[in-house]
Amino acid sequence: KIYTASTTAPVNIAVIKYWGKRDTKLNLPTNSSLSVTLSQSDLRTHTSAACSSIFTENRLYLNREPQDVSGARQQACFRELRVLRAALEAADPTLPKLSTYNVHIVSENNFPTAAGLASSAAGFAALVRALADLYCLQNTPTELSRIARQGSGSACRSLFGGYVAWEQGHAADGSDSLAVQVAPASHWPGMRAAILVVSAAKKDVSSTSGMQATVATSGLFRHRAEVVVPARMEAMKAAIQKRNFEAFAELTMADSNQFHAVCLDTLPPIFYLNDVSRAAIRVVEEINRVAGKSIAAYTFDAGPNCVIYYEQENEAAILGVLKPYTSGVSGWGDRRETVHARIPE
Ligand code: DP6
């Protein structure tokens, strides 16, 4: 008999960035972070998990390519989820012993992998969700976030929709480094995100190695992690609770800019933004100047692609201004639309 489960997990884009680890094995961060989960209709990972006593090894395919399952991140997720399943089996001996079977995992992204579009976040969140469903685990998303985090830090935030905080925690074993929902998507129905795909190429410096270099060499980073981010987390939560877009936008842009400043303060410096990214920043700054207040917010992860947050009521104005800089809109989501627009390089 083959047991199966399928799921999808969405991409999340941080507005307060995770950058720096205090434990590289458990992906324990040096600061808390906060993200918005995007609509699944555009950016998502679809994952199917199967297990059976007849499977002779663990297997993992991403976009039809076989992947290394022996990696520490995958192994940590498999191991932790098996432990939870084994506990269920110990409590109820009639349950099939799925915890002793090998698993086959098949994942598909509907967006470029490793181009700084948070593919590892959706990927590991979907992996954990699919195995948790396969094993019929009753754990809450926050409990599962402890496991997804070990796959990729940012993945812990993709187990929730809406506005999600990853509280850094202080325990050495990571038991309190967990994701919690700050507000559901329905709390702010007008929120929208547009993605300007500047480049779908694989990023130069992976976030994992980039943040290690930053922790080792940047002085500015300490100040960010210890002083700036704790205050910003509180201000961002308040902005979300009050649906204060101006405050949300200003904190988002400031945090993206500081994250890239910290990358520049790393030795050797890390450049994720390119000329097109900087052009997008100038356009958004100009939109806000003309509006007399911040009606749009840009943010960039570990790559040149630009995510712009705005409210529905300003959509026509904002996308209208951005349109000449793009080579067309290739897709629309539903409620919380994501636009894939391409800015010619
Ligand atoms: C810039 O979660 O990809 O997107 O934990 O090493 O897998 P690992 O790193 P990852 O880093 C994401 C960094 C970021 C900011 C963020 O998403 O908060």
The answer to whether 111 and 146 are in contact (CB under 8 A) is no
Q: pLDDT at position 343, please?
A: 35
Rounded to the nearest angstrom, the distance between the alpha carbon of 104 and the centre of ligand 1 is 26
Q: pLDDT at position 30, please?
A: 98
- DSSP codes of every residue in 62-108: ETTEE--TTSHHHHHHHHHHHHHHHHHHHH-TTS--GGGSEEEEEEE
Q: pLDDT at position 114, please?
A: 46
Give the residue, out of 207, 215, 221, 266, with the most ligand 1 atoms within 8 A of its beta carbon, to mutate for a pocket test.
Answer: 207
Mapped onto helix, strand or coil, the DSSP state of residue 322 is: helix
| Mode of pairing for the β-strands spanning 59-62 and 102-109 | parallel
Q: pLDDT at position 322, please?
A: 79
Q: What's the rounded Cα separation, in Å, for the pair 270 and 116?
A: 14
Rounded to the nearest angstrom, the distance between the alpha carbon of 212 and the centre of ligand 1 is 11
| Regions of the chain where pLDDT drops below 70 | 111-119, 199-203, 324-345
The minimum-distance atom of ligand 1 relative to the CA of 206 is: 3
CA 154 from centre of chain: 5
Q: pLDDT at position 132, please?
A: 98
The partner residues of 105 in beta bridges, in order of sequence, read: 49, 60
Q: What is the mean pLDDT of the chain?
A: 90
Q: Is the C-beta atom of 14 inside 6 A of ligand 1? A: yes
Q: pLDDT at position 204, please?
A: 79
Q: pLDDT at position 325, please?
A: 64
Q: What's the rounded Cα separation, in Å, for the pair 39 and 265?
A: 34
The minimum-distance atom of ligand 1 relative to the CA of 151 is: 7
The minimum-distance atom of ligand 1 relative to the CA of 121 is: 2
Q: pLDDT at position 335, please?
A: 30
Q: pLDDT at position 158, please?
A: 96
Q: Whose CA is nearest to atom 11 of ligand 1?
A: 207
